[in-house]
Structure 1
Amino acid sequence: MPLTFSAIKNSACRSLYLTAPAAAALVTLTVNAHADAPSVVTSIKPIHSIASAVMEGVGTPYVLVDGASSPHGYALKPSQAFLLQGADVVFWVGPELAPSLKKPIETMAKNAVTVELIDASGIHQLDIREGASFDAHDHDHDDGHSGEEHAHDHAEEEDDHDHAGGEHDHEEGEHEHAGHEHDDDDSHADAHDHSGHDHDAEHQHAAHEAVDPHIWLNPENGIEIAKIMADTLAKQDPANAEIYKKNAAAFSKRIASLDQDISAELAPFADKKFIVFHDAYHHFEHHYEIEASGSVTVSPEALASADRIQEIQGKIRDLGVSCVFQEPQFDAKLVSVVLEGSSARSGTLDPLGTDLENGPDLYPQLLKGLSSSLKDCLGGAS
């Protein structure tokens, strides 16, 4: 990694061998090494982690929703608006996950290449499950349908499946992806330029009103996201194209190996019953062939009603649920209330890597952490 200015400064103070001209030369080299690297802004920590892996040795991306913040109702800070204004590339999941970021990205990052990953070719999509019992939807869009193709799928299914009821706050907001122009020159270049309209607003709404936005929790999607990033960055920064593609290949190999380990770890728990805090894990569950029996809350920002709590408590009792999972971004008291009178254990699942250090290792640590938490709670480990 290149020396930062502060590192050079501190080293110069400690050593008699680093002369002023030498220090100046090192500073110049450091600045030049990053001068041509694109400014990349990402929405959430897992997406930032994948971008960090792809950009390693070239530059470091920025993240908007950091720490214990939730993307579902996030409020952009003034300093982050500045980042968007100076961005060359923005990678985000889309308004289905973070509706409040839609307008700032469109207006402040209007000169950037913006990639809505949920729309990208090759990304596996799943529908949001409805109700406390997850009884309604379980459609896998494994062909990576996006935009109009996905809208067509929903149009065919609407006679049999009601998409009302919105599991997440974002379903109540707008889902118009106005001003997006797809680059057809590359299989992964779903970078959306805000200068044109590729999709009709009604098609976009139909395509996304019931899609689960937690796409990164499927490791196959994580690998695909890395490829999309490498392709996008290679176009913006041809001088470092080979580095991006080499990094993406190394990342993919690492995640594929981890995927096999997690599959083996979770295989014994395929029939175990558990409840999640909110419906954030469908992609993870579907990939590893486990299945939650319901969620405590419809939306992570909304309090669960008394009726819903009673429904979940009944499910815990009737199905012999082993574990109810909370999330570090939200108050654990609600899970404690749900567990009253039962022998089920409580555990923690974190879909964002709240307590993990940002960087290329966060994403694999996040996946491994989910697997370990499920294993420990469902297996009865203390």
Structure 2
Amino acid sequence: MTVTRRGLLLSSVALCLAATATPATADAPAVVTTIKPLHSIASAVMEGVGKPHILIDGAASPHGFALKPSQAFLLQGADVVFWVGPDLAPSLAKPISSMAEDAQVVELMDAAGIEQLKIREGANFDAHDHGHEDGEDHHADHEEHEEHADHEGHEDHEEHADHDDHEDHEEHADHDDHEDHEEHADHDDHDDHEEHHAGHGEAFDPHIWLNPENGIAIAGIMAETLAGLDPQNADTYKKNAASFSNRIEALDQKIEKQLEPLSGSKFVVFHDAYHHFEHHFDIEATGAITLSPEALSSADRISEVREEIKDLGVTCVFQEPQFDAKLVDVVLEGSTARKATLDPLGTDLTNGPDLYPELLENLSMSLADCLDSKS
């Protein structure tokens, strides 16, 4: 009996030691990301150390997202929050500011090393300022965003909500797709946003991750941030970021070769979410069906897009899985242009380190398959 009890005691001690010797996941920083592409990059950087959390998953759009109580709990326990900023997800500005009080909040939209492009608002981009012609702005010095110096508190930044696509969104606050907005919209903030947008002059495209160079920069920012919070695993974060960079650089070259023959092709996107991708690979859309992906396009805009398709010889019109395709069908009535899908978020892709490169490759394949005259 004594030998048996001693054996059981030793076994218990061994189990305890094994538990304390497990990987550092339990001690890794609690990381919260907002969208699938950022979650993927964070997953790559944290590989072997821990796993990040995600707020906006599946087919949900960041433009009109309503936070659930379970997700609020994630923010409350976060050590660091990585998000693009209120330009992409305006409804998250207040929750992040109030619930992640103890977390380090990294707003990537204005981070050093991130290339900026101005948004294009017209149905026909060729008839308006493309934005990138004088707007390859880097926010290392924040020359055009001095008003946003105090990002950690976000007190002023909530007024800057959703410069991407939503100038008209206030008119659709009671749209049947937006019942949940009442939980977070506080529409007086949207009124302030309109004034702020008018005074700010120029807005920037928040879909920054669709430029592979920005994706690499984001990985570096995440690695540096996590290394500061978790010095014990700093080398792992930095090595992972370097491996990620090498993978994306190779993919960048592959996509460039695939899309190079298609430069000058005519296509229309659902909304202006792809400027970073288009500009990087020199394959620019001619226009967008809607300014705001969650607002109804006017009859005048639909007519303008139809004329654009006819006059410019547009061959492809792209829908998005996050939104109803009926509007695309309306635009295509009487046209020989083809319909295809571009997904800026990786809606149907499995979360994890492979999602981001798969997302970029899928965009390239969708463009090539639809625009290639031989297909």
Tell me whether 1:371 sits opposite 2:364 in the alignment.
yes
Report the identity percentage: 66
- Native 8 Å contact 1:124 1:215 kept in 2: yes
Deviations 1:240-274 (A, max 9, x none): 00000000000000000000000000001101100
Aligned match for 1:71, one of 54, 62, 65: 62
Aligned match for 1:29, one of 21, 35, 38: 21
Tell me whether 1:355 sits opposite 2:352 in the alignment.
no
1:204 is displaced (CA, Å) by 10
1:28 is displaced (CA, Å) by 4.2
Cα distance between partner residues in 2 of 1:302 and 1:54: 36
Aligned to 1:181: none
Deviations 1:3-36 (A, max 9, x none): xxxxxxxxxxxxxxxx877666544433x62232
Cα distance between partner residues in 2 of 1:78 and 1:58: 27
1:95 maps to amino acid: P
- Native 8 Å contact 1:275 1:296 kept in 2: yes
Q: What TM-score, normalized to structure 2?
A: 0.81
1:151 is displaced (CA, Å) by 3.9
- Native 8 Å contact 1:151 1:204 kept in 2: no
Aligned match for 1:227, one of 220, 225, 230: 220
Within-5 A mapping of 1:1-382: 25-30=17-22, 33-134=24-125, 135-139=128-132, 141-142=135-136, 144-145=138-139, 148-151=142-145, 168-169=165-166, 210-380=203-373
Unaligned runs of 5+ in 1: 1-18, 153-164, 174-201
Q: 1:141 to 1:57 in 2, by over 3 A?
A: farther
Cα distance between partner residues in 2 of 1:57 and 1:166: 37
- Native 8 Å contact 1:130 1:137 kept in 2: no
- Native 8 Å contact 2:110 2:142 kept in 1: no
State the aligned residue count: 324
1:122 is displaced (CA, Å) by 0.6
Cα distance between partner residues in 2 of 1:91 and 1:321: 38
Greater relative contact order structure (CA < 8 Å, 6+ sep)? 2
**C-alpha RMSD of matched pairs (Å):** 2.5
Deviations 1:57-109 (A, max 9, x none): 00000011100000001000100100000000100000000000000000100
Cα distance between partner residues in 1 of 2:50 and 2:144: 35
1:120 is displaced (CA, Å) by 0.3
Deviations 1:189-245 (A, max 9, x none): xxxxxxxxxxxxx99996695110000000000000000000000000000000000
